[in-house]
Amino acid sequence: TVDNFLPKDYANILYEGFEMEWLDGADNGWKYTTFVAGKEFKLRSNNNIEERKAIAQDRYNGGLFTYSKHELYLDNPLALWLRDYMNTSQTLIRLSSIVEDRLHAISDSFISCYGEGDFLSRHSDNDLGTYAWVLHLTKNWTYSDGGVLRFYCDGEAMTCEGNDDSCRAQSNRNKNQYICHEIVPSFNSLVLFRTRPVMIRHDVSPVTKAHAKRYAGTGWVRSEQDRLSEVDERGLRRQQGVDVGL
């Protein structure tokens, strides 16, 4: 974890911008976001929220990959600014020094907000980049509020391929797994962890805090030697998702 990752003024401007997006109702503002099973893609839309939330909860209870959260549209100015900042040569050099690897480019990024009851189920990000990064932009958060980034350890490597639900369910129910590291969101702190070739399972625990807003920027970065395959590229496009208007 890297504390005070952004200049203080930048971090505060982003936070204030996130808060304002709830007020202005812009078409590219906060949209409820879920995973569409079967078609295997992310959907950002404020349509049918309660129905989609119930489906996400059922999948979570069944040990399948899913999530419930809000995201900004990819063309939102705040999302674009953070993506550009993370992709500057200066930032890539800084990240390279942290992980002691030569990093090439950001492969994808988005901005999320988890509210009360939202979650991200256990998974690995091996098809999206060499390293994952999470920039926490939440203020005054505690462990009891939920929304904790949790990492799982076991004695065997995950061998699932593609987006097969039965394989994911089996991996998620592996009784040999245990939580080996937890990170409570801390304002303006960056978390970096490797995602390939080692596949580190992780999740975000359900948020329990009433009227909560757990903000974070999330993305993946590739090393110079790491190239995405055609299968990876398809997975990346699914991850980037589909935006549907109000």
User: What whole-number distance in Å separates Cα of residue 14 and Cα of residue 2?
Assistant: 18
Q: Tens digits of per-residue pLDDT, 41-89?
A: 889 999 999 999 999 999 999 999 999 999 998 889 999 999 999 999 9
Rounded to the nearest angstrom, the gap between the alpha carbon of residue 11 and the centroid of all alpha carbons in its chain is 18
For residue 96, which amino acid is it?
A: S
Q: Tens digits of per-residue pLDDT, 102-152?
A: 998 888 899 999 999 999 999 887 777 889 999 999 999 999 999 999 999
Pairing of β 178-183 and β 119-123: unpaired
R_g of the chain computed on alpha carbons: 17
Q: What is the DSSP string of 64-90?
A: -S-EEEEEE-TTSHHHHHHHHHHTSHH
Instruction: Using alpha carbons, list the distances in angstroms from residue 11 to 7, 14, 78, 168, 195.
Output: 6, 5, 11, 35, 26
Instruction: Using alpha carbons, list the distances in angstroms from residue 30 to 33, 147, 156.
Output: 9, 18, 38
User: What whole-number distance in Å separates Cα of residue 188 and Cα of residue 9?
Assistant: 11
